[in-house]
Amino acid sequence: MDTAKSPASAPPVEGGRPAITLAQLRLFTAVVDEGSFSAAAAALGMSQSSLSEGVRALEAALGQSVLLRTRSGVSLTPTGQRVIGHARDALMAVQDLHLSADPARTLSGQLIVATYRSIGQQLLAPALARLHTRHPELHIRIIDAGRDGQGGQRFVRSGEADVGLIEAPDEAGLLFEALLHDPYVAVVPAGQAGTLTWERLKSQPLLLPPLSGPAYRPVLDFLRRHQALSANITEVDEDDVILSMVEYGLGITIFPRLALGGLKPSLSVAALPEPLERVIGLVIRPGRATLPHVQALTEAVRAQVGERPKRQGS
């Protein structure tokens, strides 16, 4: 019987409260991840009443409520905010125990990777093709690293992603393996290639993705440091629209080289007055780097990075 579908009450433990079960933790985290009881019930293939019963059993074991129903779905109570990380850690620990116990078995299940669109297209996609050839039963889910507000780091810390293929973390506590250095370049109308001066950078309208995300903070800091930040900055959501605006002479932009792919003949790349780059690599929580499915992905990505110079030179 599926324990997630029948959240039976656990036997009392010392103090009179029932024990917490893994099934209850799965239900709790599912509601948080899906944003509502109804969406979580649908995702788990169970009735909403059974799901609610399981969450209530968890709250009884804790002696505190963890979720608050709202008009838009659910929100975490103060207790829920304190325990959600521990709930994810407990579930991850059990999953990792099973994986570590039998590393030779056929890899299956789901592996979640947090990355950016540009890295996904240029680096991750061909690595996944290699991985699928060796482990066809391993399913990959890719999530947008920009959605967590920390460039994917929070997703890895919380266990929402198994691996991040992202920029180097800015805080301690995560493992990082640098794979490649991706330079930032300016994109200008055709015929204006070469090296930009600080004066020209400052005088030109600057077109950038939303500045609220972490990806472009290094660019802004770089320009401010050299007193070359344009007074005319336009934020645009879509990269393709930015490049179109450059094409029509509405300004210039600064992109990581990996994010550009192939440019139209009407656009050119210009070097910045001084080098600026981002370091891309694998970000993993300590203790998870040796898990078989994580190792399989890291090996595929390393192999793909090793082939890049050959392909660029061919």
Instruction: Report if residue 167 sits inside a domain.
Output: yes
Give the model's confidence band at 142: pLDDT under 50 very low, under 70 low, under 90 confident, else very high. Answer: very high
7 lies in which domain range? 3-89
Instruction: Report if residue 190 sits inside a domain.
Output: yes
Give the model's confidence band at 72: pLDDT under 50 very low, under 70 low, under 90 confident, else very high. Answer: confident
Instruction: Report if residue 94 sits inside a domain.
Output: no
Beta bridge pairs of residue 278: 182
* Alpha-carbon distances of 45 from 61, 75, 231, 232, 256, rounded to whole Å: 24, 22, 53, 52, 42
d(CA 305, CA 123): 7
**In the predicted model, is pLDDT for residue 9 greater than 70?**
no
Give the contacts of 86 (CB within 8 A, at least 6 positions apart). none
144-183 pLDDT, tens per residue? 998 887 889 989 988 889 999 999 988 788 999 999 999 9
- Provide the pLDDT for residue 12: 55
- Provide the pLDDT for residue 33: 86
166 compared with 210, residue with greater pLDDT? 166
**In the predicted model, is pLDDT for residue 214 greater than 80?**
no
Instruction: Indicate if 28 and 145 belong to the same structural domain.
Output: no
- Provide the pLDDT for residue 312: 43
Overall average pLDDT of the 99-124 stretch: 79
Instruction: Indicate if 188 and 274 belong to the same structural domain.
Output: yes
Instruction: Indicate if 286 and 174 belong to the same structural domain.
Output: yes
CATH number of the domain that 141 lies in?
3.40.190.10
- Provide the pLDDT for residue 195: 79
**In the predicted model, is pLDDT for residue 16 greater than 80?**
no
- Provide the pLDDT for residue 311: 41
Q: Which of 57, 89, 121 is the last residue of a domain?
A: 89
Q: What percent of the chain has pLDDT over 90?
A: 50
Segment among 17-21, 167-171, 208-212 with least mean pLDDT = 208-212
Instruction: Indicate if 65 and 144 belong to the same structural domain.
Output: no
Instruction: Indicate if 163 and 233 belong to the same structural domain.
Output: no
Compute the mean pLDDT over every residue in the chain, rounded to the nearest whole number. 85
Overall average pLDDT of the 283-302 stretch: 88
Instruction: Indicate if 113 and 47 belong to the same structural domain.
Output: no
- Provide the pLDDT for residue 314: 36
CATH number of the domain that 50 lies in?
1.10.10.10
d(CA 206, CA 252): 5
Instruction: Indicate if 165 and 112 belong to the same structural domain.
Output: yes
Q: Whole-model pTM?
A: 0.68
- Provide the pLDDT for residue 223: 94
53 compared with 261, residue with greater pLDDT? 53
Instruction: Indicate if 137 and 186 belong to the same structural domain.
Output: no
- Provide the pLDDT for residue 1: 39
Report the domain count for the chain: 3
Instruction: Report if residue 293 sits inside a domain.
Output: yes
d(CA 115, CA 118): 8
- Provide the pLDDT for residue 94: 78
Overall average pLDDT of the 52-78 stretch: 91
d(CA 185, CA 233): 17
Closest-CA residue to 131 (of 298, 288, 281): 298
**In the predicted model, is pLDDT for residue 88 greater than 80?**
yes
Overall average pLDDT of the 36-59 stretch: 91
Instruction: Report if residue 49 sits inside a domain.
Output: yes
Give the contacts of 50 (CB within 8 A, at least 6 positions apart). 5, 6, 7, 41
Give the model's confidence band at 5: pLDDT under 50 very low, under 70 low, under 90 confident, else very high. Answer: very low
- Provide the pLDDT for residue 134: 86
Instruction: Report if residue 27 sits inside a domain.
Output: yes
Compute the Cα dihedral for 107, 113, 118, 123 and give only its sign.
negative
Instruction: Indicate if 25 and 173 belong to the same structural domain.
Output: no
Instruction: Indicate if 152 and 299 belong to the same structural domain.
Output: yes
The token pair at 213 is 């995300």
- SS3 per residue for the chain: CCHHHCCCCCCECCCCCECCCHHHHHHHHHHHHHCCHHHHHHHHCCCHHHHHHHHHHHHHHHCCCCEEEECCEEEECHHHHHHHHHHHHHHHHHHHHHHHHCCCCCCCEEEEEEECHHHHHHHHHHHHHHHHHHCCCEEEEEEEHHHHCCCCHHHHHHCCCCEEEEECCCCCCCEEEEEEEEEEEEEEECCCCEECCHHHHHHCCEEECCCCCHHHHHHHHHHHHCCCCCCCEEECCCHHHHHHHHHCCCCEEEEEHHHCCCCCCCEEEEECCCCCEEEEEEEECCCCCCCHHHHHHHHHHHHHHHHHHHHHHC
Instruction: Report if residue 251 sits inside a domain.
Output: yes
Instruction: Indicate if 251 and 299 belong to the same structural domain.
Output: no
Instruction: Report if residue 83 sits inside a domain.
Output: yes
Instruction: Indicate if 293 and 171 belong to the same structural domain.
Output: yes
Give the model's confidence band at 73: pLDDT under 50 very low, under 70 low, under 90 confident, else very high. Answer: confident
Q: Which of 60, 89, 118 is the last residue of a domain?
A: 89
Overall average pLDDT of the 97-115 stretch: 74
| Phi-psi region at 221: left, alpha or beta (left = phi > 0; alpha = psi -120 to 50) | alpha
